[in-house]
Amino acid sequence: MKEQTITGHTKLTGLLGSPVAHSISPLMHNLAFQLKNLNYVYLCFDVGTKDLKTVTDAFRIMNVRGFNLTMPDKTRMFELADSVSPAAELIGAANTVVQENGKLTAYNTDGTGYMRAVQDAGYNIIGKRMTLLGCGGAATAIAVQAALDGVEQITLVNRQGPSFVRARQLADTLSTRTSCQVSICSLEDSTELKKVLDQSDILTNATPAGMAPHEEQCPLPDSSLLHPELIVSDIIYNPRSTKLMQMAQEVGCPVFNGLYMLLYQGAEAFRLWTGVDMPITDVKNAYFQ
């Protein structure tokens, strides 16, 4: 592999959010730039919401090629962009920005990242039925992309509270604006949830329940809700195997975690900035085991 040299022509990309120092994105993107012999660099900037406008205005002047956003900047960036992709518009948040001539276009690649991870795991869920746990940022991105891509039915499952209200609004929006039928179900209603899961092809956990350091948590009360043909996916990748995944494996369900969602959301951002496909196999071997 040719060593990367920073020159006067090097294009800057990076990550904005707070905290960002733990992120795997610089490793993934800088390796991919090197492997593809692209004169780009990716850096992390610890920037909270209050400074986001100042920083992105400076990025316009500095002709920064593009950047990713993580919490807490995703929603604010959506408001600051000059234009937004159709998916980002439905999601109401952006995790990727591309700059052309001082104009910032916002995208959301979390949903495409998840859909590509499903394919990578060997499944085709187009025309199928999905049950999605949670209605925060990640769940919204997944629901929007799944609906746009042609998943036939989605049930948004949440505990009673603000997320349940958000889920109802999202279900209305997606049912009106896409051909997907989207409904909601209360996490507390085990009878209804069992019915929903019996008819589902894939269950996706987009809640943080089970993420380190709370590995003992599980978003579902017990395994009687699952059936062996149900694909069970968790978008958590730390730990690699969550309590939900272990419970599902005991029932005989195929399972996969959130590691490749992370990879593919980055791969899509990489393609948007460079017009080149990320060398997936090499990046996987280096950082996604």
CA distances for 161 relative to 140, 165, 186, 214, angstroms: 16, 7, 10, 21
Give the per-residue SS3 of 36-64: CCCCEEEEEEECCHHHHHHHHHHHHHCCC
Give yes or no for residue 19 binding ligand NAP (CB under 6 A).
no
**Do 103 and 152 contact (CB within 8 A), yes or no?**
no
Residue 38 C-beta: closest distance to ligand NAP, Å: 23
114: left (phi over 0), alpha (psi -120 to 50) or beta: alpha
Give yes or no for residue 245 binding ligand NAP (CB under 6 A).
no
Residue 134 C-beta: closest distance to ligand NAP, Å: 3
| Crossing angle for the helix pair 137-149 and 110-120, to the nearest 10 degrees | 60
Peptide bond into 19 cis (omega under 30): yes
User: Chain-centre distance of CA 183, in angstroms?
Assistant: 21
Binding mask 118-137 for ligand NAP (x = CB under 6 A): ----------------xxxx
The residue written with tokens 């996706």 in the block is 204
Give yes or no for residue 14 binding ligand NAP (CB under 6 A).
no
Give yes or no for residue 208 binding ligand NAP (CB under 6 A).
yes
244: left (phi over 0), alpha (psi -120 to 50) or beta: alpha
Give yes or no for residue 110 binding ligand NAP (CB under 6 A).
yes
- The verdict on whether 11 is a catalytic residue reads no
Residue 48 C-beta: closest distance to ligand NAP, Å: 16
Binding-site member from 64, 90, 202, 206 for ligand NAP (CB under 6 A): 206
Binding-site member from 180, 265, 273, 278 for ligand NAP (CB under 6 A): 265
Residue 149 C-beta: closest distance to ligand NAP, Å: 17
Pick the piece of the chain touching ligand NAP (CB under 6 A) from 86-94, 124-132, 194-202, 259-267.
259-267
Give yes or no for residue 211 binding ligand NAP (CB under 6 A).
yes
**Do 181 and 188 contact (CB within 8 A), yes or no?**
no
Enzyme catalytic residues: 74
Q: Which residues bind ligand NAP (CB under 6 A)?
A: 110, 113, 134-139, 158-159, 161-163, 187, 206-209, 211, 217, 219, 235-237, 258, 261-262, 265
